[in-house]
Structures are given as C-alpha cells and as structure tokens.
Amino acid sequence: MPYMAFLCLLLLVSLLLSSPRTITEAKVSAVIVFGDSSVDAGNNNFIPTIARSNFLPYGRDFVGGKATGRFSNGRIPTDFISEAFGLKPTVPAYLDPAYNISDFASGVTFASAGTGYDNATSDVLSVIPLWKQLEYYKEYQAKLIAYQGSATANETMKEALYVMSLGTNDFLENYYTMPGRSSQYNIQQYQDFLIGIAGGFIEKLHGLGARKISLGGLPPMGCLPLERTRNVFGSNDCMESYNNLAVDFNKKLEALTVKLNKDLPDIELVFSNPYYVLLQAIKKPSLYGFDVTSTACCATGIFEMGYACNRNSLFTCTDANKYIFWDSFHPTQKTNQIVSGYVVKNVLSQFL
Ligand SMILES: *[C@@H]1O[C@H](CO)[C@@H](O)[C@H](O)[C@H]1NC(C)=O
Ligand SMILES: *[C@@H]1O[C@H](CO)[C@@H](O)[C@H](O)[C@H]1NC(C)=O
Ligand SMILES: *[C@@H]1O[C@H](CO)[C@@H](O)[C@H](O)[C@H]1NC(C)=O
C-alpha cells in the first residue's frame, strides 16, 4: 500500500512541522495557587490556627473519604482546574510533609484558609498572609531549579497557570467584623487599598517569571448561609448590600487586569469571575440539580464551619450533591465543579 504509506508519511511530516510548536505554546505545565479557604488544600493543618477542617465530615466525598483540610466535602475549584489541564486531579498543599518537590512540580497551593489581601485579615485567625505565600513561592522556585535544572524549571514557571482566589475574608471576617480597618477607611477606600495590594502582588509575581495568571473575583457573598442567618430583618434572604459590594469590587479587579495587561510585558492576566454562575445556581437551583440553596449541608447549616462542623454535628445532610453549600461559608464539591467548569470553559480555555 504505497499510497497509504505516502499518506502516513505526509501526516507525520505535517504533524512534525506544525503541532509540537502549538502544543508547547498552549501547554500549562503546573497550577500554582495563592489564596484563602476557597483554594487551601490543607496548609492550615501545619500552622497554629483554629481555621481548620482536617476532620470528618469534611472530605467525606474526597478520594478515600479523607479530610485533607479542604473546606468542602470533596474537591475544591483548583483541583478541577488542574484536572481540566490534563494535570493531577488534586493540587497538594505546600506545607504538607506527605508531598515533595516531585509532586509540587506540576502543581502546588500556598493558600491559607482565613487569609486575605490585607495583612490585618490574616492576623484575625493567625493564618498565612499573602506576602508570606509569595515568600514560600520563592522557596519553591529554588527547590524546582534544584530538582529540574534551571532551564526546565524556567520553562515550568513560565508555562504554569498561576491562580489567585481571595478577598471575601477582607470584607466579612475583617472590615465588617473587626474594629480596625472600618475606622480607618470607608468602604470605597478599603476596596482601593485592597486593589493596590492585589496589583503589587501581581507585579511581583510577574517579576518572578509568572506569565499566565488568573485573578479570581468575589462570589455573591451576601448569599453565603452565614450572612443569610445574620439577615434577620430581611427574612434570611441574600444580603443585597454584600452582593452589591462583590459586584463593585469585581469591577475594580477587572479594571486592574486591563491595566496590568497593558503595563506588564508578556503577561496574560485574566479575570475569573465566579459571581454570576454561582448566583444563577442559587436563584435557579433546579437547573443544576440542587434542592437546597439557603442553608448548608453540615450541621444545622445556618452558622457552622470549621470545628463547629464535625462528626458530632446532628442534622448533617446525607447527600451533599443536593446542596449548594457544604458549610455556612463554603460550597459543596458539586458547586465547586460547576463554578470551575464554567471558568475553565469561558476564561481559562485560552490557556488550554
Ligand atoms: C519524593 O518522595 C518520593 C516518595 O515519597 C521519593 O521516592 C522521592 O525520592 C522524593 N523526591 C525528592 C526529590 O525528594
Ligand atoms: C504586610 O506585611 C509585610 C511584612 O511585614 C510587609 O512587607 C507589607 O508591606 C505589608 N503590607 C501592607 C499593605 O502593609
Ligand atoms: C532562568 O531565568 C532566570 C531569570 O529569569 C535567568 O537569569 C536564567 O538565565 C534562566 N536560566 C536558564 C537556564 O534559562
């Protein structure tokens, strides 16, 4: 079959000529994560803080039913994002001694539940501040160079997708709860203060070699069960003021990405917004197969998270897939899969 052989040869030649370049250019080598409980895979297990979730029923739907320190019944958004890029199905925590640089070479999270952009936010529960997460990243770079050699490590760091997911705690755990920042700044000024920190962080990350960066927006934080519980005069509906604040802050984050894409050479900074897809699931749960939107699965579902959501909690639901929220502050695995699937399809697909 010389004709078939010729066709095969032609195919091979065209593959050799065209695709390796496109494949390497589009490839994401690793998923590298900074942020709060939305993307912490267990770093807080290894620091002295009460912001923990490494006990059941957390993780009951994770591989092996293991409570890793993820604030959910199963996987978190960055796990799904990593898998969507053909990498590992879970992104391990940097401080977890069960993993080493051979695992972290294709993905690692420096995130810490309870943290925010503001140092004063991470102080509330003594968790890892954002600046410290960047220090850990520098340490990681040195380990990666030792492990892969500088040429390969440079390529890994350049082709990695850097994911940032934080901000909710700056408002809910800090500004509206603690006395300090609210006496110093009005809410507009505080937003601008946080945007300044976000911009400075991205500039530093870019200076360290990062190119593909996803800046995450805020969820509809007024619809978190804990905030609904506080909305006693509004029949426990979503707190509109917090939702409006999230929309406002997200606009500023998006404007920041436009500015930095102009200012920083070769950067590919995208804004990943979970707000509308999550709000739609909350308003039209049946579209996604959910039954319960206003309370969480764990315990009474109205205020418990962390140590208050535990094995002894009465009333914990049996099927978390029917719930949008797992505890009073964090989505279920199913919600995480829906939101990250949406973000991958609509925003991160440019890196696929
Ligand atoms: C990482 O851990 C694995 C298994 O625990 C071990 O085989 C490997 O040598 C370690 N690699 C490095 C670079 O430390
Ligand atoms: C946060 O703390 C670090 C370390 O002390 C410091 O370098 C940084 O400037 C602080 N950030 C702000 C915005 O004050
Ligand atoms: C790796 O990157 C650093 C800084 O960007 C550069 O100084 C160094 O020469 C690079 N090394 C290799 C082997 O490409």
3-class secondary-structure state, position 58: coil
Q: What is the pLDDT averaged over residues 112-116?
A: 98
CA-196 nearest atom, ligand 2: 13
- When pLDDT is averaged across residues 122-130 and rounded to a whole number, the result is 98
What is the arithmetic mean of pLDDT over 35-43?
98
pLDDT score recorded for residue 346: 98
Is the pLDDT at 309 greater than 60? The verdict is yes
- Dump pLDDT digits (tens) for 164-175: 999 999 999 999
Nearest atom within ligand 1 for CA of residue 100:
1
CA distances to 66, 67, 132, 277, 305 from 70, rounded to whole Å, are 10, 7, 20, 22, 12
Residue 298: φ, ψ to 5°? -75, 135
Ligand 3 atom, smallest distance to 209 CA: 5
SS3 129: coil
Q: Does residue 337 surpass a pLDDT of 70?
A: yes
pLDDT score of 132 more than 60: yes
Q: Retrieve residue 231's tokens.
A: 């909305």
Where are the chain's structural domains? 25-351
Number of Cβ atoms within 10 Å of the Cβ of 82: 25
Which residues belong to the active site?
Answer: 37, 327, 330
CB 244 within 8 A of CB 189: no
Q: To which CATH superfamily is domain 25-351 assigned?
A: SGNH hydrolase (3.40.50.1110)
Spatial distance between the Cα atoms of 48 and 26, rounded to a whole number of angstroms? 40
Query: What is the DSSP secondary-structure string of 10-56?
Result: HHHHHHHHHHHHHHHHH----EEEEESTTT-SSGGGGSS-S----ST
In this structure, what token pair is assigned to residue 309? 């959501």
* Mean pLDDT rounded to a whole number for the chain: 93
pLDDT at residue 6 is higher than 90: no
Is the pTM of the predicted complex or chain greater than 0.75? yes
**Tokens describing residue 338:** 């829906």
Cβ-in-10-Å burial (0-12, 13-18, 19+) of 302 comes to middle
What confidence score (pLDDT) does residue 27 get? 86
Residue whose CA lies nearest to ligand 2 atom number 1: 119
Strand partners, 163: 33, 214
Beta strand extents in the chain (DSSP E only)? 31-35, 107-109, 161-165, 212-216, 268-272
Mean pLDDT of the region 28-36 = 98
Report DSSP state, residue 93: B
Average pLDDT score over residue span 175-180: 96
Quickly state the pLDDT bin for 23 (edges 50, 70, 90): very low
pLDDT of 352 above 60: yes
Could you tell me the distance, in angstroms and rounded to a whole number, from the CA of residue 134 to the centre of ligand 2?
A: 12
* 99 Cβ inside 6 Å of ligand 1: no
Residue 185 above 90 pLDDT? yes
Cα(92)–Cα(46) distance, rounded to whole angstroms? 13
**236 pLDDT exceeds 80?**
yes
| pLDDT attached to residue 5 | 52
Q: Which residue type sits at 127?
A: V
120 touches ligand 2 (CB under 6 Å): no
